[in-house]
Structure 1
Amino acid sequence: MSWITRVRNALPFSPKRETPDNLWIKCPACSEMLFVKEYEDNLSVCPRCEHHGRIGADARLAQLMDAGFEILPAPKVKEDPLKFRDSKKYTDRIKAARAANPHPDALTNAAGSIGGRKAVVGVQEFAFMGGSMGMAVGDAFLAGVQRALKDKCAYIAVTAAGGARMQEGILSLMQMPRTTVAISQLRAAGLPYIVVLTDPTTGGVTASYAMLGDVQIAEPGALIGFAGQRVIQDTIREKLPEGFQRAEYLHDHGMVDMVVHRRDLKDTLTATLDYLTAARAA
């Protein structure tokens, strides 16, 4: 034992204070260390670089909807219809995702109001298997649309997905036409369908209900596209422009109607609902 160790052990030093591991979060864009409480109070937006962090369905609904909204029950679908297995059983992946998330699958609907305007909102949870679109997501989308038809109000889809769920094969791809038909029912009834595109929205979700809104709103910096950037570059053998597939680029090229900061999103949806409702009534 060295003399330093003997002296240190003899002195009445206070024990090292334990610090919780969840007090700080690192911004993935600028690497700034942020106090979690302040970050969440700022709607999970970095106060330094304005990077919009990914948030869960419950947080999203609380930010967008008025108090007192109702979470709608998730439809029951046949699980693992193909008895799929890769490195794990599909059923095991679903169980793990449900253990880590508050809702039974990647799309959750809620009925209530936004700024006093009646609406049904469906939010995709990227943390649930990458927000992937399978039969449960398709049925939940249809259930949300049916509730909007019943309540004679708008349906708002907040998308966040890596695409279709490969473990369900062609059955996941069939959700693309199913959701498209549901949107046509809304239009036939004269009800608004609004899409809020968040980071990331890709694959079969982009190729179906994510790009069929009467109004397309995107969060700043959101990745929005079908195929990945490297796949496109390898296919066309050209370097893609800076910011390709980001919300601002798509807005400049007419694929997105507006890019709205998270703090302004609820007010923007309220104004949009007013406009679309008045236009259809006229």
Structure 2
Amino acid sequence: MVLRKRTLWILLMPLFAFLSLTFFYPMLYQFLLSFEEHTLYTAEPFFVGLRNYAIVLQDPLFFVALRNALVWTALSVVFQIVLGLFAALLLNIPRRGYRVFRNLSLIPFVLPPVAIAVTWKWLYNPLYGLINYFVTLLGGEPVNFLGRNLALYSVSWVNIWKAFPFYALFILAGLQSIPQEIHEAARIDGATSFAIFRYITLPLIRPLLFVMALFATVWTFNYFDLIYSMTQGGPGHTTEILATLAYKTVFLKLRFDHAATLGVFMFLINFALSLAILTISRRVES
């Protein structure tokens, strides 16, 4: 038994070393950096206490980015899970060629975010975009989807379109793991399809949905590529989120200390959102 435990620890050492180099050390360094003054022109970083946190909290743009990030995350996660569930229910119905459709549905997810951004910017274009072509064809006026009023919602939809097939396949796997005998017994007892979904299928896959919501929340809140490629946080910071703000703070303002402070705030908010989802999940299951 002792030899088996030693062997286990020896086999886990490479994993611990990898996590230490790629996760724990960068996180610790970022946390320490948030208490220092460190720019490209600083000869030697020096301790400044909580000054960086005070500067970030006094910046109105921080709260604009925080609000946008919460809206962007909420819209994306809710519709990704809902559309993913709807698509999984459709894919769970046996029909000819559904395996081909299931594989093709993953194309949006595997496409590079920059390619998706360029394609959707063309589709959204108010002058020659395909969407506005059909809008004008139906007698409407061209819509500036990436303008100040609609930009955040338009970019959120692109993120929803990209990711919901991925969640659909995971939910489909959960649906197919439910024994068919349960559904057949319910049908024999006279239960309708909606009643079977509400009282049997949904409770059985509810833990999976909460897990998917947890991963989607963390993933979306930190997601940078798509939104920056489409709008770069504009117009007028209407699509600025904390991830894009941190990027600009590093590469445009060259303030490594302020960017590290933003990273700490992002970690704390991610932790709070994850804790809230886990708490809701436990209350619902209990």
- Assess same fold via TM > 0.5: no
Please state which structure has a larger fraction of its residues in strand: 1
**Which interval holds the TM-score relative to the shorter structure?**
under 0.3
Instruction: Give TM-score, length-normalised by structure 2.
Output: 0.23
The higher radius of gyration belongs to: 2
